Chain A
């Protein structure tokens, strides 16, 4: 009710709502009924959808991740009210929007980062949004660029994300002797901090590609793939449930799928967009270069090119590549963010194809950024250009 009674500072026209009726209504002319999802509920739905992924990350990484996320949100809570209350430009900002951007940014961070850095990132997210966006127009998702910059400054370099010794619910690593050996390096490999580190699956696969791509037509490549499956890559169950290292919000495939289903149900995420983006990613992964070296020297040596030798294994490798990392995360949460895509249908399709291919290429080039998120954010400022170039003329205007 307080939101309804607060006149706010929006545009010249005032909307009308009726709390006794589930849907609000507009004043001044038709329609007198509106879909009961206002801007606040729109972003709230994204926040609700991302909650399971963050919870999965907290369960996996333990208190370390919890501290980082809290620091991030605390930073946001410090800067947002100041901008909202004391600046004219900030009056159009939405708390749910700022929180959604913060949570998505937090999901793409690693527990390796120190919590003061997360606090600063949290402060920066609303500030950057306030600085670059024009009043009331927050289409540019700068909130998501912050972790990308952070990751670029703190390259993982094969260290792998943190695996907490004392995880939130699953107990101390030291006492889990029944777990698979690749998960739990023994005494010599423990880090001074209260954790161990481990390469993420997609890094394992990239190393594998570099090895087999040099000599694709030998039995050695099959041996290397089998070795990876046995010792370095997690089981599909672990991949789905979230027992695999990665960024905080990308560890649990199940949580991402649940979030995506929820956003589809709320009509915020279009299943067609999700499918088209992932299809383009798959095409890029199949026909793109296997690694940076292959890109320079043997451009056409791709996963599809060695399909004839290791058919079913290549499919499994492709699945691992797609399910680890941020491909699925970005296809759900970055695509769902309003303003990320062009508005025109044809422009949107072309944009998603291009973004998917760029994401696959970024991944194969092993840039120190989340590839899918990076691709979508880099192309996002061009969305209005795509709209202008691929504007669809209404069927009703076509003269006979």
Chain B
């Protein structure tokens, strides 16, 4: 018999994968980034205080948002390579541009693992908490948000305690959440926190809701510590037969080089970035490590399995965290009258977590199809004209 017993705690529908099963001890096989004061960081010393660009003399600090500091902050972030470090969370400079002149309603520091097996947020909390705190203080000073929320994995007790201790004496609120994939997605997270209430076609930043992922936080901290430009980022690497590792990889490094370092023979081995559920397959010959590459998984090239038509088991409906009916949407895409055709524009609600395809016993391409439908349905919201023309939003 070929079926596998599901493990305890892994449920369909309210999926809970539990905490990551391994604890990386430290950076490994990582070249030191340029101009990084490694001695200070490795010794656990706090980096120098935040050195935000001085505010222009002709602009007094304003109570509503610290707008005087935003423009140079945005420019600095842009200049030093603070880009999109998470596949789901938009880049902070982009969010700030959409925020424009308004005060941020809430700044959510999302310390939840992006993928079930991800140990990255917990690792950064243990190793790089000091620069991350500096980064958050600097951002809070510049943006003056009404609320600062820090969401952490409830079952990563060490990280939860560390953030709780860090939040003491600061107007931050630490919220412990069960790592329920894909809760780390901004839409799902905001809904879970009860602060959603925004149109699916626009970024939450247009409503003053900023999401900051842990690597952005870490990168800003490094920037403030004196690094001239963010050139590396932490990447979790999984390879069969080897212990998972946390590497500091150079942005732009060819994937083939990383695979060779791990002894993964091409082309028998394939590389998947950013998790097995919502990631993408990389071509080692042409692809490189990107700023948003959080995880790399190497595995032998798999065999083929057949798909079959939908049996209406409803597992995809149970699994969808946003309440969609993936099977009905697939039927709408394929124009089959096998079931009532829902409005195809409902595909906009898909966040691309991949859970529907994950649980489908018929191996239907639900996630891919619905993401394509979603891309065709959603019209991107252009940046606000005042922010766009005002040098990045002050």
The residues of A with any CB-CB pair to B shorter than 8 Å are 3-8, 10-11, 13-39, 41-42, 44-45, 92, 94, 97, 134-139, 266-268, 270, 338-339, 341, 343-345, 348, 383-385, 387-388, 391-397, 399-400
Contact = CB atoms under 8 A, between A and B. Distances in A.
Chain A CB count within 10 A is highest, among B278, B300, B339, B355, for B339
Contacts of B276: 25, 30-33
Given A20-B240, A31-B354, 9 more contacts: A10-B309, A13-B307, A22-B4, A30-B279, A35-B12, A35-B358, A36-B3, A39-B361, A139-B312
Contacts of A24: 302, 305, 363
A3 B1 CA distance: 12
B359 interface: yes
Contacts of B2: 41
Contacts of A392: 323, 325
Interface of B: 1-4, 6, 11-13, 187, 191, 196-200, 207, 240, 272, 276-281, 297, 299-300, 302-315, 317-318, 320, 322-325, 327-328, 338-340, 342, 346, 348-349, 351-352, 354-355, 357-365, 367-368
Given A18-B299, A267-B315, A400-B207, A34 B357 contact: yes
19 contacts: A7-B306, A14-B307, A15-B307, A19-B303, A25-B302, A31-B354, A32-B272, A32-B281, A36-B3, A97-B311, A136-B309, A138-B311, A338-B312, A341-B314, A348-B314, A384-B339, A391-B340, A391-B342, A395-B196
A399 B207 CA distance: 12
A306 B280 CA distance: 66
A400 B307 contact: no
Contacts of B207: 400
Nearest to B1: A44
Given A28-B368, A267-B6, A137 B338 contact: yes
B305 A139 contact: no
Contacts of B308: 10-11, 39, 92, 94, 136
A199 to B, nearest CB: 38
Contacts of A385: 340
Given A42-B311, A343-B312, A394-B349, A4 B304 contact: yes
Nearest to A139: B312
B365 A16 contact: no
A11 B3 contact: no
A188 B371 CA distance: 73
Contact of A30 (B187, B280, B318): B280
Contacts of A14: 304-307
Contacts of A136: 308-309
B197 A400 contact: yes
A370 B360 CA distance: 32
Nearest to A389: B340
Contacts of A138: 311
A28 B299 CA distance: 16
A13 B365 contact: yes
A397 B202 CA distance: 11
B11 A37 contact: no
A31 B200 contact: no
Contacts of B240: 20
A41 B3 contact: yes
A209 B361 CA distance: 46
Given A34-B357, A396-B200, A387 B328 contact: yes
A36 B4 contact: yes
Given A30-B367, A31-B277, A31-B278, A393 B346 contact: yes
A28 B317 contact: no
A392 B327 CA distance: 14
Given A17-B305, A395-B191, A31 B361 contact: no
A397 B308 CA distance: 30
Contacts of A37: 3, 361
Chain B CB count within 10 A is highest, among A16, A22, A383, A396, for A396
B339 A396 contact: no
Given A11-B309, A34-B358, A94-B308, A29 B302 contact: no
Contacts of B4: 22-23, 36
Given A16-B302, A35-B12, A343-B339, A26 B365 contact: yes
Nearest to A48: B1
B305 A33 contact: no
A18 B302 contact: yes
Contacts of A26: 357, 363, 365
Contacts of A391: 325, 340, 342
A267 B367 contact: no
B262 to A, nearest CB: 17
B251 to A, nearest CB: 22
B322 A396 contact: yes
B266 to A, nearest CB: 17
Chain B CB count within 10 A is highest, among A35, A387, A391, for A35
Given A42-B311, A397-B349, A28 B365 contact: yes
A17 B303 contact: yes
A36 B3 CA distance: 6
A21 B359 CA distance: 16
A345 B315 CA distance: 11
A393 B342 CA distance: 10
A244 B189 CA distance: 54
A65 B313 CA distance: 31
B307 A339 contact: no
A243 B252 CA distance: 73
A15 B328 contact: no
A10 B310 CA distance: 11
Contacts of A45: 3
Q: What 3 pairs across the A-B complex have the smallest Cβ distances?
A: A136-B309, A388-B340, A31-B354
Contacts of B277: 30-33
B361 A41 contact: yes
A19 to B, nearest CB: 7
Nearest to B339: A384
B18 to A, nearest CB: 16
B307 A30 contact: no
B358 A31 contact: yes
A262 B302 CA distance: 31
Given A30-B279, A343-B317, A396-B351, A15 B306 contact: yes
A19 B3 CA distance: 11
Given A33-B277, A134-B338, A16 B312 contact: no
Contacts of A42: 311, 313, 361
Given A29-B365, A32-B272, A343-B327, A16 B354 contact: no
A39 B306 CA distance: 10
Given A31-B367, A41-B3, A384-B340, A343 B306 contact: no
A344 B199 contact: no
A29 B323 CA distance: 22
Given A22-B4, A41-B2, A396-B187, A387 B358 contact: no
Contacts of B323: 392-396
A391 B340 CA distance: 10
B304 A15 contact: yes
Contacts of B13: 267
A22 B207 CA distance: 44
